[in-house]
Structure 1
């Protein structure tokens, strides 16, 4: 998108095209969607730009906490709900209700997750989802009898990526992914934003291409695009580069049929403003950033639009 055209207009155009002309079909959740396949958007990251949606409020602080959680490699929701972040609760809660038959509320479930170590260990883990694959991709070592066993320490893709960007910026192999075929059936939800590739320009500009196999455009996208841009900014800083552009490509890009009110309301609104993200401190490692190291400025979004999450 050119600087004279607001970056969010491409998002609203895609939303409109899906809602008015998308293929309507049954999906995994049973809710039903309208979808298009193979869509791309581009967002400038120059001059501290950050692609926060302005036609509705995006709770960027929650998204920031989620990204920092990914980088720890943790896969238990306890650390998130302890910070008031509830975006992952629905999946382990649904499993608990199905397997125990107890009609527990989300609030009571989270209270037990925070207060009971054994309960959190049994019911709070999501399996080897994003963070685990990012920083602890399973490795195997030889064992007795010609067999192999999983090594205690896995491969840290993020650390390897940063080393590669620093030492060989012209490489075409600056990639990390969460799509570990061997682990998919153990995950509460297979990775949606699954593969990231980075490219270094001759002027030191760092761009990221994110491939997202499945995108809930009404709800999930706002977090996905903010976190990808934030991660690109963090990696650029750690590598002595400057952020240039984020290219987002979606496979199945969809709107849920029960999100009609959200879609109709958001399409009435006009995007405005140019929010900026500032990183206030450069720690020694990408794994040492803290919540207070980030500030979003000039973000004046329109009102939040609620919509249900399909589990």
Structure 2
């Protein structure tokens, strides 16, 4: 159960823990003090979630045969170290934002745990007649630490966002209606197929691209080398993280609604950058998936008028991708700014 829950929540664990901790805290403020049903319910859910995820993390140190593995522990420590090095070498705005998110998360975690300790203390007092004086002292300390951490963390996040937004505006990455019109006219000379492994072609395109937002996206795609995986969602998450790192002020959005959902297609774009560039990710193409992709892109082309549409193809043979997609996208390219981008990875 723990491992399955961990897999289902992959990529969203921290967010879900923080949200549940916040719900637990607010339930404690607004619940009926004589009968705090909501507080007890959400606190128990919070404790259960923490227990399950911690159990899954510990269980991940077992190998396929179920034996504890020092090698796996070493691999995880190495991966954490790489993340830490990548974080310290990032832009100052991203470092401040990361610290702010971490401090806020820890503050919510402390306040959520404080609720859990309070409820366990009340249960012990009512049922067992046992009073823990140290818990009463810890309660005030945890409230102070948690509240201060949430306030400081939130201020750091706000400061980082304002700085990133200001920097993005100065670089021309935040567009008004005039900027979006210039972007749409600036992509007319680009070819319908952009191969990120063709370094010479890509450098030429980047040099001749007049718009700074599209140029930044192309540079980012040129440097983006995701791991080959059968999971299309993993490519979504990887590209979203890369965009957030390189151009946070352009406000990369994922799963943005742009049209009504239909039985055949989602009305949500995989990614949108700068409220103008739509990115749809496709991986490991088959004839069936290509048919759906073309229909989806046609729907986007009808509904999306903000700027160009980039269909980023990952984990596919280049010749195979050309055969399956090039003709349809080339025809569509004559009517709307749609491009197929073959990822470098």
| TM-score, normalised with respect to structure 1 | 0.29
The structure whose RCO (Cα within 8 Å, separation 6+) is larger is: 1
- Bigger radius of gyration, 1 or 2? 2
| TM-score, normalised with respect to structure 2 | 0.27
Larger helix percent: 2
Larger strand percent: 1
